[in-house]
Amino acid sequence: MMFGQVIQGDNMKHWKNLGFALALAVVCAGCGPANSSSDNKAAVAPDTAARPAPAAAVAEPALPALELPNTFVHEVRAESSGRDYQLWVSLPAGYKRGEKQYPVVFVADAAYSFPLVRSIRNLLGQDGRNIEDFVLVGLSPERQMSAQNSRSRDYTPSVPVRSSPDAYTAERYGQADVYRDYLEQQVFPLIAAEYDVDMERKVFVGHSYGGLFGSYVLLTRPQMFSAYILGSPSLWFDKHRILGIEADYDRDHDALPARVMLYAGEFETPGDSPRHFNSVDLIGDIQRFEQRLESRGYRGLTVDSEVLPGEDHLTVFPSLVSRGLLWALPGHGPYTSG
């Protein structure tokens, strides 16, 4: 998969030209003029010299890469950590510079979520009728690092105790604060400068560790996003460390200005079928988390939860994103199902 354009600073180039350039390089490799000096001719044995030169191999033309229209890639180096990330941006079909400001949806785990959320916006959104058109920003893992190691480090708020070799197998954990600051200090200003967006209407979407990261941001810098769609959040992480973070927030604050929607699948609880979890109870976790937040009486907070029937941890994301976007960014209506 390839996005339409890659942007580095003020420079922009079209990736679609890359395939042709590589194909041309392959075809022309070894096509320079042969050495035809008289000294070399004299050194060739007569029978060898009489043979015709073998025909140059013709390379198969390179297949064009798949491009997603109206998508862009920004290369960003995090100033505090020196880590290199990409931001993937998708604009709605009707986007025209200078006409209006769009809400922005930021999605964690972009390699999976970005093309999916883009497609949901384009189909279910119905050009703003069902879901308000929005600019989509995908948060991809650190370059040259596996998604597992990058998300385990960037999306988790603490360093857990590894009680066994099978527990917490990623290289590093506990740098959600560093990643949060990178978003606030570098990503937000970049998106605001490059696109016509309403930065007062930012929506965060995260699943699993991504949902844990969203919960951490909610309880440390809630004003970073106006709405949080938190799917199957890993609230169990490090012995439910997120609850201690909430208690710390509660001691110093009586307001939590945000709209929060928590989702989990029907099978994300212990049970007998292969689709159930063995021990983790995500359904119970989100319900208890909702009740805890409501019991605080935070000013400005609205929070709700929903268990999605027929879904497990791997199937739930498309459903929760569809429902979550309908909740966070309702369209102008009337609703149409096709």
Closest CA to 333 of 155, 125, 64, 159: 125
- pLDDT tens digits for range 18-74: 232 323 233 333 333 333 333 333 333 344 444 555 666 677 788 998 899 999 999
Residue 116, SS3 per DSSP: helix
Closest CA to 304 of 317, 323, 318: 323
Question: Quick check: 319 and 311 in contact, CB under 8 A?
Answer: yes
Distance of CA 273 to the CA centre of its chain: 30
Residue 25: per-residue pLDDT: 34
- pLDDT tens digits for range 191-227: 999 999 999 999 999 999 999 999 999 999 999 999 9
Residue 9: per-residue pLDDT: 46
Residue 18: per-residue pLDDT: 26
Closest CA to 103 of 135, 128, 127, 125: 135
Q: Which residue has the higher pLDDT, 124 or 50?
A: 124
Residue burial 145-162, b: 16+ Cβ < 10 Å; e: rest: beeebbbbbbbbbbeeee
Entry pTM: 0.84
Question: Quick check: 207 and 91 in contact, CB under 8 A?
Answer: no
- Supply angle C-alpha 310, 268, 152, rounded to 5: 125
Q: How far apart are CA 278 and CA 271, in angstroms?
A: 7
Q: How far apart are CA 89 and CA 194, in angstroms?
A: 10
DSSP 254-289: SEEEEEEEEEEETTSSB-SSTTSBSS--HHHHHHHH
| Number of other residues whose CB lies within 10 A of the CB of residue 164 | 6
Question: Quick check: 179 and 155 in contact, CB under 8 A?
Answer: yes
For 176, phi then psi, to 5°, come to -60, -30
**All domains of the chain, ordered by start, with CATH?**
70-328 (3.40.50.1820)
Question: Quick check: 103 and 132 in contact, CB under 8 A?
Answer: yes
| Number of other residues whose CB lies within 10 A of the CB of residue 292 | 14
pLDDT band at 14 (very low <50, low <70, confident <90, very high): very low
What is the dihedral sign for C-alpha 295, 301, 302, 306?
Answer: negative
Q: Which residue has the higher pLDDT, 315 or 12?
A: 315
Q: Indicate the residue type of 283.
A: I
Closest CA to 290 of 304, 275, 309, 306: 304
Residue 203 tokens, joined: 């929506």
Count of helices and strands (H, E) across the chain: 11, 10
Residue 46 tokens, joined: 């007569």
